[in-house]
Amino acid sequence: MPDNGWPADRIDTEHAHSARIYDYILGGKDYYPADKEAGDAMAREWPALPVHMRANRDWMNRAVRWLAEKADMRQFLDIGTGIPTSPNLHEIAQSVAPESRVVYVDNDPIVLTLSQGLLASTPEGRTAYIEADFQDPETVLGSAEFAETLDLSKPVALTVIAIVHFVLDEDDAVGIVRRLLDPLPSGSYLAMTIGTAEYAPQEVGRVAREYAARDMPMRLRTIDEAHEFFDGLELVEPGIVQVHKWHPDGTGEDDIRDEDIAMYGAIARKP
């Protein structure tokens, strides 16, 4: 039984999980043998996988800092948080504005078990964690944690990072994101990364097959399909681009090849 009172046996250690594979590839420690086996198999199919995953994480750092510094966002709703990896979203936002408030959402019990790392807010700000499925926006928006942490009379930055490629067409990823965004006021922002196979179709296709073989089917999207998430919103320059090309900060993006990145990134403002 972990210190937070949640039973450890809720965690499925026999089957690989996308968040734990991500943690393993990034050099974390919160994974199990099934996740290591999956990550190793995927990296054999596409040796650039660690570069790709690190670029996605670096995009999150730059995007959140941009939202806090340039867009003056002080409220964040982070969907599909994943295993805590410092700096976490609230640490980035609160380093710019200590009063920032963050709600994290995930449905993996291991994330909840480790959530103390997500709840260490500054005294001026606040963080909260909701255990809920991304595909059930009404549970997220109707939760006490959401109501107690975020003020919907003020803009909110909705971050949906590296998750919609696990939502198939029949589950309507665009509609899910829209249901999360609709209640947020004018001046809010949507920040997303969206999986694609357009730059290395064979290699990324093989990785997708490895995920599917472990009951994690993927829906990789074209640039036109990525634009559907931002219909009616005002895209921030440079629009929807591969993550390493979005506001690079000179910390190694120049050395990344386009064919080593399978993720689009963008931020847009809600009018």
Whether residue 152 has pLDDT greater than 80: yes
pLDDT band for position 9 (cuts 50, 70, 90): low
Percentage of the chain modeled with pLDDT above 70: 96
Q: Cis (ω within 30 of 0) for the bond into 7?
A: no
Residue 265 predicted with pLDDT over 90: yes
DSSP-based helix, strand, coil % in the chain, nearest 5:
45, 15, 40
Average pLDDT, whole number, for the chain? Answer: 93
Q: Please give the average per-residue pLDDT across 176-204, as a whole number.
A: 98
Interatomic CA distance for residues 190 and 125, integer angstroms: 21
Model confidence at 8: pLDDT above 60? no
pLDDT of residue 7: 46
State whether residue 113 is helix, strand or coil: helix
* pLDDT score, position 264: 98
Contacts 24+ apart (CB under 8 A), 113-116: 113/2, 113/4, 113/6, 113/8, 113/11, 114/30, 114/83, 114/84, 115/4, 115/84, 116/3, 116/4
* Least confident segment among 155-159, 227-231, 251-255: 251-255
pLDDT tens column, 196-212: 999 999 999 999 999 99
Q: pLDDT (tens digit, 9 = 90+) per residue, 10-33?
A: 678 899 999 899 999 999 888 999
Average pLDDT (26-52) is 95
How far apart (Å, rounded) are the C-alpha atoms in residues 68 and 75? 9
**CA separation (Å) from 219 to 188, 195, 226?**
27, 8, 11
Return the pLDDT at 10: 63
The confidence score (pLDDT) of residue 64 equals 98
Q: Is the pLDDT of residue 5 over 50?
A: no
- CA 31 from centre of chain: 18
How many CA atoms, within 13 angstroms, populate the side-chain half-sphere of residue 137? 17
Q: What's the token pair of residue 248?
A: 């690079």
Beta strands in 126-254 (DSSP E): 126-131, 157-161, 189-195, 234-235, 241-242
pLDDT, residue 41, reads: 97
